[in-house]
């Protein structure tokens, strides 16, 4: 639906898709070509969020960094983050990407927790069970090994050069 010519444009695109497994149904949805198409479907100020595979100490090299580097080919600001998902047995990685001018990774990572809490209170009725300003800082400030791994990643996922998770 997203890429249909008459589907319009979007403020937010959330890709909670299956992993890039060889011969899997979603492998093409992790490519530079796909991310460039999605960028064209976003309204000005639009944001893409995608699940990006395992982001734990021992498994972050599978595809997390490669997805991050691939997104950087289509978006001016890409920020990796991770959350604990107990049923997955590991921290799980995500990336948020946008072409909003003036937005950068450093400001998102260093966001004042009180400001985040105030915005949540202004926009959402009742308490949230997981997310708040302190949680935001934890999610976006990856442990050193993972942070360095993402920064050192050289792979860019394309139709001609896919990356598979095993």
Are residues 81 and 92 in contact, defined by beta-carbon separation less than 8 angstroms? no
> How many residues can be counted in the chain?
166
Judge whether 16 counts as a catalytic residue: yes
Number of neighbouring beta carbons within 10 Å of residue 29: 16
φ/ψ (deg, to 5) at 77 = -135, 120
Catalytic residue among 16, 91, 104, 112: 16
Sort residue 117 into left (φ over 0), alpha (ψ -120 to 50) or beta: alpha
Half-sphere exposure of 99 (CA within 13 A, CB side): 15
Q: Give the active site residues.
A: 16
């Amino acid at each position: 639906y997203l890429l249909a010519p008459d589907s319009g444009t979007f403020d937010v695109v959330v890709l909670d898709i299956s992993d890039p497994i060889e011969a899997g149904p979603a492998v093409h949805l992790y490519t530079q070509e796909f991310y460039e198409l999605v960028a064209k479907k976003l309204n000005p100020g639009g944001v893409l969020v995608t699940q990006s595979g395992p982001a734990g100490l021992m498994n972050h090299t599978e595809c997390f960094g490669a997805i991050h580097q691939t997104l950087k080919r289509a978006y001016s600001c890409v920020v990796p983050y991770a959350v604990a998902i107990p049923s997955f047995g590991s921290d799980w990685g995500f990336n948020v990407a946008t072409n909003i001018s003036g937005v950068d990774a450093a400001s998102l990572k260093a966001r004042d927790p009180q400001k985040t809490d105030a915005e949540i209170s202004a926009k959402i009725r009742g308490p949230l069970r997981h997310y708040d300003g302190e949680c935001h800082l934890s999610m976006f400030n990856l442990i050193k090994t993972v942070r360095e791994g993402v920064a050192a990643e050289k792979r860019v996922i394309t139709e001609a050069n896919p990356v598979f998770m095993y």
